[in-house]
Structures are given as structure tokens and as C-alpha cells.
Amino acid sequence: MIGEIALALKALDSAYAVCKNVVGKAKDIDDCAKEVNKFLFAKAEVDQHIAKAKKEGKEDLFEGSAIQEAMSISQLEQRQEAMMARIGQAYSDNLKSHIWVKIKKDAEIIQRKRDAKAKRDKENLARRNSDDALLIKQLAWVFLCMFGVVAVIAGVAFIFFGVDS
């Protein structure tokens, strides 16, 4: 897990450096779309790895002390925020701030849909697991009752037919 995060961070760093240079020098925001997309992809990948590691309960996301880990995460978040602000500024400089506002609005809507879908999937999985547990419990009761009925019939048959022997 640490290796995957380290690779994703390295990709994010290189994408950040390239994106920073291109966004600062590009005349039109459309000229740097490729670099911006690489940065956003690397950002999403790092966020996904960190979320996965936290979900799995990994306490040691990075090698080193806890303060080093906290500083790394804080610096990473600051760099991401700064780059997003720089991208927004580039849209504004090209008189396309309305497009940037629409992009951010659409991103929020997409994220809400993803979160809602993830929540529904989690609830469906919990319900399926609950249904499976209930089915297993009911089957256990059926087999237990069948075993009890067989034992009672065998006992009654032994009393009627087995006493004379």
C-alpha cells in the first residue's frame, strides 16, 4: 500500500510541476488542457489510494513518524488547492470564469451522485448480507426441526415396537 501511494504521489508531483509551468505560461486555457487533465487524474488517484488505505484501517500511510505523515498530507492538500486556484485563475484570465464555475458546479453534482450511488450500494450489500443471514438461520431451524421430528418418531416407534423385543 505504501508503495502504491508513493508512486501516486510521485506522479502527482510531476503532474503538478508540469501543470504549474504550463498554466502559468499558456495564452489560452485550452492549450494546457492535457496537463490539467494529467494533474486531475493524478490527484484523483492519490485521493483514492489514501481513502482506500484509511478505509482498510492502515495507520501507516507513509513511512516515518505521525507528524511527518500529517505534514505530508497537509502539504499535499495545500498544493492541490493552490493548483486548483491557479487553474481557476487561468480560466478567469482567459475570460472563461463562467466555464470554470460551471465545471465546479458539475463536479459537485457528479460527486453527489457518486456518493449517493456508493451509499445505495453499501446499503444493498448490507441488506443482501442480512437476507443471507436470515436465510441461513431459517434453514438451520428447518434442519433442527426435521432432526427433532425424526428423533420423536424414532422414540415413538421404539416404544411401540421395541419394548417387546
Q: What is residue 5's predicted lDDT score, i.e. its pLDDT?
A: 62
CB atoms within 10 A of CB 11: 17
pLDDT by 10s per residue, the chain, length 165: 556 666 666 666 666 666 666 666 666 666 677 777 777 777 777 777 777 766 766 555 555 667 776 777 777 778 778 778 887 877 777 777 888 888 889 989 998 999 999 999 999 988 888 988 899 999 999 999 999 999 999 888 888 887 665
The letter for the amino acid at 51 is A
Nearest to 43 by CA among 87, 4, 89, 11: 11
